[in-house]
Amino acid sequence: MDQLIYAIEVVLNGLMTGVMYALVALGFVLIFKASGVFNYAQGVLALFAAMTLVGIQQGQVPFAHMINATFGTHLETFGWSVPSFLAILLTAVVMVLLAFLIEKLVLQHLVGQEPIILFMATIGLAYFLEGLGDVMWGADIKRLDVGLPQGISDSIEIATDKWFGYGFFIDRLDIWATAIAALLVAALVAFAQYTKQGRAMRAVADDHQAALSVGISLRFIWVMVWSIAGFVALVAGIMWGTKSGVQFSLSLIALKALPVLMLGGFTSIPGAIVGGLIIGVGEKLFEFLIGPMIGGATENWFAYVLALIFLVFRPQGLFGERIIERV
């Protein structure tokens, strides 16, 4: 009986972790739906957004290190702090401006190119943004606090202790992250399925030239999608940054999205959610049930092995589109 109760707790924590994975995977799906290319820069976008948010919150002077080294000044901050909500709005504006610049300086010149060319462009973009973030805000580890509750939920612990004789340890930040991610996902699904812009996004993904020929503005779609992906990266950066601090490793959360995408499919928003939940619950349960028998530390390994096995039988993922080309 005790093992069953512990397993229920593991599943709950796995579901919440899975939602966090899905949040990262959503950014990849959005870009893939609009351009048909895997966006290598999505993890760095989350890092850049979180660094910008902290910088704005704390009133840091952008490029302070470079300015001080060049002119011998001692600039650090403006001497004010910005409320969290306003800082999030300003960071969202920065991400939209970044989307404009990416379209203007990079994507506009690659219309009609092969997907591998666009993929290589996102690799270059990832390293550029990583360096730009360090130069703007410094490479030190930063603490991010936007007022989200953290710590073990006392109410859940007391309630489950009353029901099962064992109090579940559920982090309140994970509960908030799950709720926010669920709202974001519902909004994105509705946008992609029921709006004119969502249908145009899918048309652009199918064929750039055909979309242009029927009057769809490729530039508008790319700016819109990169702006949304930037906002999703901001939300993911807030959740993961609040959990583990804003540092270089935040960009590596993109690696956790890969098995989610393999499982759910690269073109499906609901697939990202289902894939995230399967990976989140699966890796926690595997670690709980099988991990102790083989030495533990199996979470990352299990996620990729599961995705690899799944690819063998269904390469397009659970909800991905199977494209058949006739010659």
Q: Model confidence over 30-47: pLDDT tens digits?
A: 888 777 778 888 888 889
> From CA 225, how far away is CA 198, in angstroms rounded?
10
Rounded Cα distance, 49 and 94, in Å:
8
143-193 pLDDT tens trace: 888 888 888 888 888 888 888 777 888 888 888 888 888 888 788 878 877
Residues 230, 53: Cα–Cα separation, whole Å: 13
Whether the Cβ atoms of residue 191 and residue 198 lie closer than 8 Å to each other:
yes
End-to-end CA distance of the chain: 59
Domains, the chain, in order of start with CATH, read 1-313 (1.10.3470)
Name the band, by pLDDT with cuts 50, 70 and 90, for residue 211. Answer: confident
Instruction: Taking each helix axis as running N to C, give the angle between helix 2-35 and helix 269-289, from 0 to 180 degrees, rounded to the nearest 10.
Output: 150
pTM of the model: 0.86
Report pLDDT digits (tens) over 265-310: 887 878 888 888 898 888 888 888 888 888 777 877 888 888 888 8
- To the nearest whole number, what is the mean pLDDT of the chain? 84
Helices (H) and strands (E) in the chain, counts: 13, 0
Rounded Cα–Cα distance for residues 7 and 168 (Å): 11
DSSP, res 247: S
DSSP letter string over 185-237? HHHHHHHHHHSHHHHHHHHHHH-HHHHHHTT--HHHHHHHHHHHHHHHHHHHH
What span, in angstroms and rounded, lies between the C-alpha atoms of 12 and 5?
Answer: 11
Strand, coil or helix: 100: helix
